[in-house]
Amino acid sequence: METVKIGIVGCGNISAAYFRTVRAFPVLEAVACADMLPERAQARAEEYGVPKACTMEELLADPEIQIVVNLTTPQSHTPVNLAALEAGKHVYTEKPLAVAREDGAQVIAMAEAKGLRVGCAPGTFLGGGLQTCRKLIDDGVIGRPVAASAFMMSHGHESWHPDPAYYYKLGAGPMFDMGPYYLTALTTLLGPVARMAGMAGIQIGERTITSQPKYGEKIVVETPDHVTGVMEFASGAIGTIITTFATWPSTLPRIEIYGTEGTLGVPDPNTLGGPVTFCKAGTREWQEIPLTHGHFDRVNMWGIGVVDMAYAILEDRPHRATGRQAFHVLDLMNGFLETSAQSAYYTPVSSMERPAPLPTDLPEDALD
C-alpha cells in the first residue's frame, strides 16, 4: 500500500495517542520524531519503533517527510508551523492553530502561497458521534436548525494536573483550551458564524493547586476563567456558548442543536464516540440514535485528522480538518475576549466551508 511519510515534532503527553493512530492506520508511516528535549524524542522512537529521533531542523531537512505533525505547546505552534511550511512540508498541528489571530493568518497565507496544506486538531468531528449528528442534520431529521447551545462547565485543572499553571495564562483559559472542540463541532454541524459577541471575566482570581507535586502552590489567574458568547451563524441559527473553569458541577448538556422538528443531543466533542440522542418535536421522549459511522476510539485515535490528510494527499482531494476552519475558530475565540472588553459585536474576518462528511461504510483501518 502507498504510504504517506510523517515527522512528529513535540513528543510530550499527547504524542502517544498520535503514535497509536500511526500504528492503527497503515497509510501513515512515522519516519522521524523530534523534541526540544532530545530524551523525549528518543523515548518515543524506541517505544513506537520510529527509525529516527532527531532535532526539528534535521526532521525538516528530511526530503522523505511529507507531513509535519506539530504536537508542541500552543506558543510554539506558529514558529514550528512556519518552519515546516518554509521547508516545503504540509503541516497538521494540534489545537489551537495559533494564539494570536495574526499568527494564524500568517500560517494560512504562507501555506496557500506555497500550495501546501494546513490541517488542525481537533479531528474529533471525524468520530462516529459527530458524523452521526452531521448526517441527521443533513438528512433533515431535526428540520431547520434554529439554535444551538454549547456548555463546557468545569472548575479547572488544579485538582489533578501535575503542572496546571499554564491553563490560567494568556493563550489558555477555558476558551482557548476547550473552545476548539466545541466551536469546531458547532461549525462542522452549522457552518460559519457571521456575527458574535462575548462576555468574559476572571471570576476566581487565585487558585490553589491540590494535585501533586505542586500541592499548596498558588496560581494567579491572568486570563478570563469564565467566557460566555452568542453567535449568529450565517445560516441564521443562533448559538450560545459557555466555557468555564469557574463553576462546580453542572447538569447543562454539552451541546444541543434545536431544529424545527426536534432537538439533537450531541456527544462530548472531546471524544470520538456517542451517545447521540434525539427528541422529536411535540414529544418529551429522548431516544438514543445508533451511530451511523465507525468511531475510531478503539485506542483513542487523536491523529485521525492526519489519517484523513494522508488519504487526501494520495487522492488529490481536500482534507477535512482544515486550517481555514481552525482559523475561523481562532478568530471566534479571540472575538469572544475582545468584544467583552469593547462592549461591541464582532464580524469575523474569516469564514469556512463545512468539511465533507465521511462515508458510512468505512473499514476499521482506512478512512476512504
Give me the residues that bind ligand NAD (CB under 6 A), please. Answer: 9-14, 35-37, 40, 56, 71-74, 76, 80, 94-95
Q: How far is the CB of 11 from ligand NAD (least distance, A)?
A: 5
Beta bridge partners of 67: 6, 90
Grid cell at residue 121: 486538531
Output 145 or 174, the one with its CB closest to ligand NAD: 174
Q: What span, in angstroms and rounded, lies between the C-alpha atoms of 111 and 130?
A: 28
d(CA 201, CA 110): 34
Nearer to ligand NAD, 300 or 342 (CB): 300
Q: How far apart are CA 359 and CA 355, in angstroms?
A: 12
> Cβ closer to ligand NAD: 256 or 268?
268
Measured from the CB atom, the residue of 107 and 257 that comes closer to ligand NAD is 107
Smallest distance from ligand NAD to CB 81, Å: 10
Say which residues have a Cβ less than 8 Å from residue 28's Cβ, sequence separation at least 6: 3, 4, 6, 21, 22, 303, 306, 307, 310
Nearer to ligand NAD, 26 or 79 (CB): 79
- Nearest to ligand NAD by Cβ — which residue? 12
Q: Of the two residues 172 and 257, which places its CB atom closer to ligand NAD in the complex?
A: 172
Amino acid identity for residue 24 in this structure:
A
Min dist CB 17 to ligand NAD, Å, is 8
Judged by CB, which is closer to ligand NAD: 72, or 131? Answer: 72
Q: Which residues pair with 219 in a beta bridge?
A: 207
Phi, psi for 229 (deg, rounded to 5):
-155, 155
Residue 351 CA: distances (Å) to CA of 62, 80, 109, 252, 365 = 34, 24, 14, 29, 32
Spatial distance between the Cα atoms of 241 and 184, rounded to a whole number of angstroms: 13
Single-letter amino acid code for the residue at 78: T
In the bound complex, what is the minimum distance in angstroms from residue 180's beta carbon to ligand NAD? 8
Nearest distance from C-beta of residue 71 to ligand NAD, angstroms: 5
State which residue, 73 or 159, has the beta carbon closest to ligand NAD: 73
Calpha distance 31→348 (Å, rounded): 39
b (16+ CB within 10 A) / e for 158-190 = beeeeebbbbbeebbbbbbbbbbbbbbbbbbbb
Least distance to ligand NAD from the beta carbon of 95, Å?
A: 6
Comparing CB distances to ligand NAD, the nearer of 9 and 107 is 9
HSE (side-chain half, CA atoms, 13 Å) at 15: 26
CB of 89 to ligand NAD, least distance (A): 15
What residues have CB less than 8 Å from 349, skipping those under 6 apart?
A: 101, 331
Residue 121: CB minimum distance to ligand NAD, A: 6
Q: How far is the CB of 40 from ligand NAD (least distance, A)?
A: 5
